Amino acid sequence: MSSIVAIVGRPNVGKSTLFNRLIKRREAIVDSVSGVTRDRHYGKSEWNGKEFSVIDTGGYVVGSDDIFEEEIRKQVQLALDEADIILFVVDVEQGITPMDEAVAKILRQVEKPLFMAVNKVDNAMRAADAVEFYNLGLGDYHTISSVNGSGTGDLLDAIVDIIPEPVEDEQENELPRFAVVGRPNAGKSSFINALIGEDRNIVTNIAGTTRDSIDTKYNRFGFEFNLVDTAGIRKKSKVKEDLEFYSVMRAVRAIEHCDVAVVVVDATRGFEGQDEKIFWLAEKNRKGIVILVNKWDLVEKETNTMRDFERKIRETVAPFTDIPIIFISALTKQRIFKAIETAVEVFENRKRKIQTSKLNETMLEIMQQTPPPATKGKFIKIKYCMQLPTHTPQFAFFANLPQYIKDPYRRFVENKLREHYDFTGVPITIYFRQK
């Protein structure tokens, strides 16, 4: 599980600029979660081999000074509840303001790790001015410049120093976690209620009824796992209140911490842009994925309605098309147990380990018959392959010139792996390395 770092502070101190700088170190998932008030509010960062999530809490405070203070208090408090590490950003140009003091007053009572970053320090004179921030009573600070990156390396060193080492082997006896995710009013809570046979979660036709991620233990028909009902992830223009912002944040976190993301789609609306973004969020987090097309009983059907609907989804999520798609109705309980059986199968696929000798026997023969295209007159030879000891399927192929292997061949190798071994619903990572 990755740690969450929340960037807090009053408006216009450079939180978003710092946020953008942090997530540029790795491909941001920001564009995959446009539900989080603004596209740049949620991302992934990696530093010194440690990965963590970054949340930008700012930018939506409006009103008088009194409302400013109240909104900032709520904003910071909610961030403190969700985050593992707090990054408090202040502005050396403005110095200490009453709003900085209001945030600092809350932060002094927090027992979570806290870092103060004095932003816009891009020369020695400003570095001397930063001394006044000791008056906030939060201890030492880091001087940075979000714009040119000065000082951010030292700040990141300090942050990742307290993030625990990634644990590859999760406890065997821990129950699998299936996160039921999707846009609001797609029928996530209805699906869970239909499965467990009781109204465990509140269901209304008002989108956004579920605010928190709710865990439900499922133990029937030989299956045992945790079902997590999440708040709907909706478009950025629809997220107005801070409570809903953090509902989305909890849904995002549920995806990060699950084993399989069960993406519920409203059949009456089709597989829309927001559904696609939720799908890619789960894919980028390397989770198992099952797509459930709910409310199928409400769709007028012709001969090939289901086939056409499925084909459209697969075209949208290409090239990752090896995904189970099940058409269900939470209301009539049509195929809901098939959905659970499939989610369990995907969970098992995600854990699948292939013996190195068998992998080489199968894949090397394929790659000898269809080697990578020669580049600059040089022939690429792949001599050995193995599955890496990670908790998601990752494979290393050792070649004499790995730098010349292009994406089309990478996809070819992935397709052959899927053809010979069952990795349905699971993202695969492939590395080509120097032999």
For the annotated binding site for GTP, the residues are 9-16, 56-60, 119-122, 182-189, 229-233, 294-297
Residue 26's Cβ-side half-sphere holds a number of Cα atoms within 13 Å equal to 16
Could you give the CA distance from residue 31 to residue 41 in angstroms, rounded to a whole number?
A: 10
Spatial distance between the Cα atoms of 78 and 233, rounded to a whole number of angstroms: 18
Alpha-carbon distance of 418 to 392, in angstroms, equals 14
Binding residues: 9-16, 56-60, 119-122, 182-189, 229-233, 294-297
Q: Are the C-beta atoms of residues 293 and 265 closer than 8 Å to each other?
A: yes
CB burial readout 94-118, b (16+ within 10 A) else e: eeeeebbebbbebbeeeeebbbbbb
- CA 310 vs. chain centroid, Å, equals 25
Residues 5, 84: Cα–Cα separation, whole Å: 6
C-alpha pair distances (Å), 270 with each of 153, 306, 333, 416 = 44, 12, 20, 31
- DSSP string of 16-46? HHHHHHHHTTS--SGGG-TTSSSTTSEEEEE
Residue 333 to residue 326: CA distance in whole angstroms = 13
